[in-house]
Amino acid sequence: MNKVFPKKWLGQHFLTDTGAAERITLLLPPDVKNVLEIGPGTGVLTQHLLNRNINLKLIEIDGESVSYLKNTFPQAQNLIIEADFLKTDLNGLFTENYTIIGNFPYNISSQILFRMLEYKYKITGLTGMFQKEVAERICAGKGNKSYGILSVLIQAFYNTELIFSLTPEAFSPPPKVNSAVIRLTRKDNYTINCDERTFFRLVKKAFNQRRKKLRNALHEYRFSENAPAVFFQKRAEELSVDDFITLTNALVKE
């Protein structure tokens, strides 16, 4: 019997491959101080994190998992926040910078990543499991078929590494998709040399019609001559992060 009734709507697929669980926690930098685990569930990652000399906090939305964790790991009692990660004030959790870890609920993957970007001034990294397809999108380079909005927006601020993949049998209940573990590490200089909101909007627009050349995909925008003309003959997937920054700076009017 499962320790906690698995709730599909909360993306609950508990990792049963204990070797993989330990491996994920070992991906945290050795000198890390403040760590937030999203969705600890029944604690397969948490048990390893509790053995480390770190300042740990756990956010879990599911009351049943929270009770299970509190009973099984008394030392975690005061570390657990029963809340929705998407509605939690990410600034108030730690006074200092912190890093995120988790086997993330796949139904809210993009929202987790966009929140990380919003709070990037405090979040120095993120390690954990996503649906493999999403993990590939995050880490893909220019020209790759997975290269898209997530790749550009995340890689503007974080270095990305695709570490290893797992098949559905590593989980209970097994998800319908493969999974992969990634590690994001904030860049030393994580300010971009253009207006951030405009950059986000432009990247999204460019990829929304990813098969079209930018001349068409971005026809609503006006650019100065600082925008290299060759860009407009290309598709979004052929532009690097720096190219998108150049384009943002050349924007005259939306």
Q: If we measure between CA atoms, which residue out of 220, 192, 188 comes closest to residue 204? A: 220
Tell me the closest approach of the beta carbon of residue 9 to ligand SAH, in angstroms.
9
Q: Should residue 62 be labelled a site residue for ligand SAH when binding is judged by CB under 6 A?
A: yes
Stretch that binds ligand SAH, among 32-40, 67-75, 174-182, 188-196 (CB under 6 A): 32-40
Q: Should residue 108 be labelled a site residue for ligand SAH when binding is judged by CB under 6 A?
A: yes
Q: Should residue 20 be labelled a site residue for ligand SAH when binding is judged by CB under 6 A?
A: no
Q: Should residue 115 be labelled a site residue for ligand SAH when binding is judged by CB under 6 A?
A: no
**One symbol per residue from 151 to 190: x for binding ligand SAH (CB under 6 A), - otherwise; what is it?**
----------------------------------------
Contacts of 39 (CB under 8 A, 6+ apart): 11, 59, 60, 61, 85, 102, 103, 104, 105
Tell me the closest approach of the beta carbon of residue 171 to ligand SAH, in angstroms.
7
Of residues 38 and 227, the one with the C-beta less far from ligand SAH? 38
- Residues 103 and 45: beta-carbon distance below 8 Å: yes
Q: Should residue 38 be labelled a site residue for ligand SAH when binding is judged by CB under 6 A?
A: yes
For 42, 67, 81, 92, 250, the CA distances from 243, given in Å and listed in that order, are 44, 49, 41, 35, 11
Q: Should residue 41 be labelled a site residue for ligand SAH when binding is judged by CB under 6 A?
A: yes
Of residues 82 and 195, the one with the C-beta less far from ligand SAH? 82
Q: Should residue 60 be labelled a site residue for ligand SAH when binding is judged by CB under 6 A?
A: yes
Phi then psi dihedrals of residue 51, to 5 deg = -85, -5
Q: Should residue 128 be labelled a site residue for ligand SAH when binding is judged by CB under 6 A?
A: no
Rounded to whole angstroms, the Cα distance separating 189 from 201 reads 21
Please list the alpha-helical segments (H only) found in the chain: 18-25, 46-49, 63-72, 109-118, 132-139, 149-155, 196-208, 214-217, 241-249
One-letter amino acid at 130 equals F
Q: Return the structure tokens found at 158.
A: 């974080």
Q: Should residue 25 be labelled a site residue for ligand SAH when binding is judged by CB under 6 A?
A: no
Rounded to whole angstroms, the Cα distance separating 77 from 1 reads 24
Report the residue from 47, 99, 105, 227 that binds ligand SAH according to the rule CB under 6 A.
105
Burial 190-199 (b: 16+ CB within 10 A, else e): eebebeeeeb
**One symbol per residue from 65 to 94: x for binding ligand SAH (CB under 6 A), - otherwise; what is it?**
x------------------xxx--------
Q: Should residue 61 be labelled a site residue for ligand SAH when binding is judged by CB under 6 A?
A: yes
Of residues 116 and 241, the one with the C-beta less far from ligand SAH? 116
CA 153 from centroid of its chain's CA atoms:
11
Residues that bind ligand SAH (CB under 6 A): 10-15, 38-42, 44-45, 59-62, 65, 84-86, 102-103, 105, 108
